[in-house]
Structure 1
């Protein structure tokens, strides 16, 4: 734990015992967050701009008390404490309920489930996304990117957000469902866009504290979108059950999986895990690529360095899985993009009996929050934190460009036992797509600033228009 140590100093508030009261070894104390509204706590301020809200909490300290509606909440910002939270999930912390909109879309998949149910599902899903399996999907990733590159021309005007979404949707449909028709990707993609928007609106608004039975227009929209997704998944699952069970797509592997008792996943479980994998394989990668093009367009030096690596490693050919390890600067571009614009921008867990952070007890029921957005932009862990500098991730003489980045100062895929199962898939996909396209083109984005909007993932606030320039 290094020098970051806590000692207990129990505090109380008007609502009874505080979530936790601490004083650090160097004399710093936990501090209260901004004054809240009766009955709503800090939810109005959080909902107005969650990213700025978490940054303001980070500026107050590493251990800040606030209230999410009537629920006592604790914001943590130090990597060591974040690591404790992530590694203690399933023991002294549990997955928090992220609301009815989130559950409507993901059901009770591996991201949402808890305890023994989570352990069973993880054991069944994990083999489908192991490195050996990801290698088998890499050719599809590159082929789809090459097809897109063949349709781009010098001087063409494109919406980068739409182009990246269509590309990653197609890859997800082919690798997960083994389907080739554009209709599959299009119908699921439109429904997923609606679901994404409604989850963000519900989570950061009053809907976050409304009982599940309260009807709202947003909840009606996400139900309709989910019905479209369910119908598509059911259709494809039926086709798989009637076809060749040896197909290499993810869905076939899920259908063939058996737990320790020999039982398969139920139809509902297949649906939930398929949607979860789709989001991991499409939404996060698409968002990351849009932000990567945005940052590259505004940093010509980095774009030059990326092009130089692609020319050196690939020459005039397209990449395959075996090139992934050699594309170190391309990987660094993706990692630095995920630092500045993490697709998953917050994590939260709920304290159980016996929960402890930094040696200090955390009251059961306390909701503990951490934000990748806030921690990734903390000057204590990253020099010039707002600068796009992929070099900080490159090994030089055994060190990361003289920067010692603490564990859990960068955690775009979470960590601990519930680390994202699709981490390898997402990284390989983003690197190969970027390598295919950036070897041939640069994208000159329009100069307007694009702001991030937190929803299910961190999305641009508008269309992302660019001019294609052949290299």
Structure 2
């Protein structure tokens, strides 16, 4: 548990409307609204999202205490029908004993040793994409990064690319992301599940497509014979095989429905989060010639023209810093929350039960108190000898505490290796125009990023 030395003194935030509270202002521009809470009101601000009393945190010590106590003193926030429809009762939505059991079964599938085994797949998928690029091509950066990360996660999760079904699954997941993001910002967040809207009809169809394919794969694996003691014994070493092989302390496996929920969650998180981070990384590099030159110099020195491997990861320090700085400026998961239980305290202050306590990597990562020149892309701020050390929990793109994103290591290694593989051969030049982020389920560019491919000659 993380203790806090900074007293919590909540202050009232902007007045809201009856019933709706601050939802209209939040829905119009969540990032601007949360930044306003931080800048105009302080480190602990009371507000309301619809009828729910809320508290917004901006100080890293308060955030550290919140994230460190989420399993002990806070419940999972019910963030809407759409989100639950997609991820079901996976580990990210479970609590108590059910959460501890599922985490113990899922976590081994993404431990560093397993991530190491998937590194070659990450590089292979990036190389395959780069083989299709030509100098002077015009590409949609987000689309290209999504194709790579989707192929990575499908191969690591299911053991293959799924052939003709890949496009249908990708389209279904895109629909899910759009509907969930829209629901998080509007009144439909408070509608009961039995209310039917056009968006919910689209989501039901998308989830049916996802379920049909995932359950088909699960049934096929079960017909092969449930692997005992690990996927390798069955001749497979993908994440799905390991989920089916997992046993809890009583020797119980995950049910087919539980495997479905965890597989879909790993797929959604592993695909969208990394492709989003890479999209923003290329945007930032295009506007920073010095950072890009230093990246190419490092790749020449460390790799010498060969593809990267997992053994190169720790030596690609500047590449790692670029990814880390991109995650600071544009954290894909831009908002986190927990619901205070009876007796919850923060900074020595007791919180009313039911209070939704929020924190935002977007606002914390761009707070000039913790990051000098906070809106600038400066990977050098992560140098080991930087004169401005970053406070604990001022950078938390994957959350923190016991509920840190299980796929954090996978995502960071993938982003570094994919970036290194592509940047060896190409630059992506984007026009020098401002890009506005759109706060949906993830923090995405509000318009396509169309880049010109330039071969580096390496």
TM-score range, shorter chain: over 0.9
Given that 2:6 and 2:61 are in contact with CA atoms closer than 8 Å, whether structure 1 keeps it comes out as no
Residue equivalent to 2:322: 333
CA shift for structure 1 position 4: 4.8
Structure-to-structure mapping, 1:62-461, within 5 angstroms: 62-243=43-224, 245-396=234-385, 401-461=386-446
> How far apart, in 1, do the equivalents of 2:5 and 2:362 lie?
21
CA shift for structure 1 position 243: 3.3
User: Structure 2: which 5+ residue stretches go unaligned?
Assistant: 226-233
CA shift for structure 1 position 222: 1.2
Aligned partner (choices 21, 41, 44) of residue 21 of structure 2: 41
Residue equivalent to 1:27: none
> How far apart, in 2, do the equivalents of 1:184 and 1:77 lie?
44
Given that 1:194 and 1:225 are in contact with CA atoms closer than 8 Å, whether structure 2 keeps it comes out as yes
Given that 1:376 and 1:409 are in contact with CA atoms closer than 8 Å, whether structure 2 keeps it comes out as yes
CA shift for structure 1 position 73: 0.4
Q: Which runs of 4+ in 1 moved over 4 A?
A: 1-4
Partner-residue secondary structure (3-state), 1:469 = strand
Given that 2:4 and 2:61 are in contact with CA atoms closer than 8 Å, whether structure 1 keeps it comes out as no
Given that 1:257 and 1:264 are in contact with CA atoms closer than 8 Å, whether structure 2 keeps it comes out as yes
> How far apart, in 2, do the equivalents of 1:187 and 1:180 lie?
12
Residue equivalent to 1:5: 6
Distance 1:182 1:296, change over 3 A: farther
Partner-residue secondary structure (3-state), 1:466 = strand
Moved more, 222-231 or 336-345: 222-231
> How far apart, in 2, do the equivalents of 1:228 and 1:141 lie?
26
Instruction: Count matched residues.
Output: 446
Given that 1:246 and 1:252 are in contact with CA atoms closer than 8 Å, whether structure 2 keeps it comes out as no
CA shift for structure 1 position 103: 0.2
CA shift for structure 1 position 464: 1.3
Distance 1:63 1:147, change over 3 A: same
Normalising to structure 1: TM-score of the pair?
Answer: 0.93
Partner-residue secondary structure (3-state), 1:136 = helix
User: Structure 1: which 5+ residue stretches go unaligned?
Assistant: 7-21, 24-29
Q: Residues 84-126 of structure 1, C-alpha deviation per residue, up to 9 Å, x if partnerless? A: 1001011111111111111001101011111111110000000
Normalising to structure 2: TM-score of the pair?
Answer: 0.95
Given that 2:4 and 2:62 are in contact with CA atoms closer than 8 Å, whether structure 1 keeps it comes out as no
- CA RMSD, Structure 1 to Structure 2 (Å): 1.3
Moved more, 450-459 or 60-69: 450-459
> How far apart, in 2, do the equivalents of 1:362 and 1:180 lie?
48
